């Protein structure tokens, strides 16, 4: 009986925290869908279903999680997946690129992200594997569509914006003006998260530059932790950075 109880308790614990990892896709607003990928360190990406095609923002962790995401996309639309935006060089954003290329999608980023993928990818994968032994030793899959600066996709419905170094030197925000939704990438989230690649001097300036653009978004989708937030997430993140700075001094 005691053993049975122990097994029952173990099963209950497993159900709470140990649900098997998965990729889910949920409609948010207009063309914007939120992808939640709970493999490795859970991350949130965005899928934009436009008039004729689909743009994925964030390639997810691996070609396998990308394949799972593509299967979720097929459940909501038959439109082709035309491109995947790689919003920074870290494995949670770039790891699935090879899968998207294999199905004929363009892999899109800014030049700076391409350069960082060349310089730092292998080290970034080693760091992930040090904490998550099951993460595969993936080779870098470089973007094939490279922009020197900010760019637009889907006829202006998807706007890639860079305002400076933050969580990484290269991370972008993606704004969806018709839906008034901002994707905060790894830059904006409810906790500071991993700051190993962050520029702590520029991070607040980068956020203030974004704020000064007065884009008019009414929701922010965070790249980690809970996905849906109001615009006040930016000020909350600035406060967390300031508190972190005071603690470090």
Binder among 37, 83, 92, 170 for Zn ion (CB under 5 A): 92
Based on the shown chain and the rule CB under 5 A, indicate whether residue 108 belongs to the binding site for Zn ion.
no
Q: CB of 166: closest distance to Zn ion in angstroms?
A: 11
Q: CB of 245: closest distance to Zn ion in angstroms?
A: 21
Q: CB of 249: closest distance to Zn ion in angstroms?
A: 26
Nearer to Zn ion (CB atom), residue 92 or residue 170: 92
Q: What is the CA radius of gyration of the chain?
A: 18
Q: Are 150 and 140 in contact (CB under 8 A)?
A: no
Give CA 106 to chain center in angstroms. Answer: 17
Nearer to Zn ion (CB atom), residue 31 or residue 223: 223
Ordered DSSP codes for 46-84? EEEE-SS-EEEES--SSHHHHHHHHHHHHHH--S-EEEE
β-strands 43-49, 32-37: how paired?
antiparallel
Nearer to Zn ion (CB atom), residue 143 or residue 223: 223
Nearer to Zn ion (CB atom), residue 31 or residue 184: 184
Nearer to Zn ion (CB atom), residue 107 or residue 186: 186
Q: CB of 74: closest distance to Zn ion in angstroms?
A: 26
Q: Are 56 and 45 in contact (CB under 8 A)?
A: yes
**Six token digits for residue 227:** 């996905």
Tell which residue, 242, 227, 231, has the closest CA to residue 42.
Answer: 227
3-class DSSP state of 46: strand
Based on the shown chain and the rule CB under 5 A, indicate whether residue 170 belongs to the binding site for Zn ion.
no
**Six token digits for residue 59:** 């390639």
Nearer to Zn ion (CB atom), residue 31 or residue 87: 87
Burial class (CB in 10 A: 0-12, 13-18, 19+), 166: buried
The continuous run of DSSP H or E covering 108 comes out as strand 106-110
Stretch that binds Zn ion, among 19-27, 129-137, 154-162, 181-189 (CB under 5 A): 181-189
Nearer to Zn ion (CB atom), residue 186 or residue 210: 186
Q: CB of 241: closest distance to Zn ion in angstroms?
A: 16
Number of residues that bind Zn ion (CB under 5 A): 2
**Six token digits for residue 189:** 């989230």
Based on the shown chain and the rule CB under 5 A, indicate whether residue 186 belongs to the binding site for Zn ion.
yes
| Alpha carbon distance 141, 211 (integer Å) | 32
Based on the shown chain and the rule CB under 5 A, indicate whether residue 34 belongs to the binding site for Zn ion.
no
Q: CB of 181: closest distance to Zn ion in angstroms?
A: 19
Beta bridge partners of 85: 57, 108
Q: CB of 132: closest distance to Zn ion in angstroms?
A: 13
Binding interface with Zn ion (CB under 5 A): 92, 186
């Amino acid at each position: 009986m005691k053993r049975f109880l122990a097994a029952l308790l173990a099963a209950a614990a497993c159900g709470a925290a140990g649900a098997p990892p998965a990729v889910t896709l949920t409609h948010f607003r207009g063309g914007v869908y939120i992808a939640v990928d709970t493999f490795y360190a859970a991350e949130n990406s965005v899928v934009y279903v436009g008039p004729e095609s689909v743009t994925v923002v964030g390639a997810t962790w691996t070609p396998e999680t990308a394949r799972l995401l593509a299967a979720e996309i097929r459940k909501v639309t038959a439109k082709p997946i035309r491109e995947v935006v790689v919003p920074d060089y870290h494995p949670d954003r770039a790891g699935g690129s090879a899968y998207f290329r294999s199905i004929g999608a363009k892999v899109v980023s800014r030049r700076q992200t391409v350069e960082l993928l060349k310089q730092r990818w292998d080290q970034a994968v080693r760091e992930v594997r040090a904490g998550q032994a099951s993460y595969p030793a993936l080779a870098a899959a470089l973007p094939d569509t490279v922009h020197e600066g900010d760019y637009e996709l889907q006829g202006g419905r998807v706007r890639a914006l860079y305002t400076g170094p933050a969580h990484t030197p290269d991370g972008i925000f993606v704004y969806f003006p018709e839906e008034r939704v901002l994707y905060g990438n790894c830059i904006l989230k409810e906790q500071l998260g991993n700051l190993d690649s962050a520029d702590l001097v520029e991070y607040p300036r980068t956020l203030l530059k974004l704020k000064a653009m007065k884009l008019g978004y009414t929701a922010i989708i965070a790249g980690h932790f809970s996905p849906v937030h109001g615009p006040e997430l930016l000020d909350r993140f600035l406060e967390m950075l300031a508190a972190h700075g005071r603690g470090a001094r």
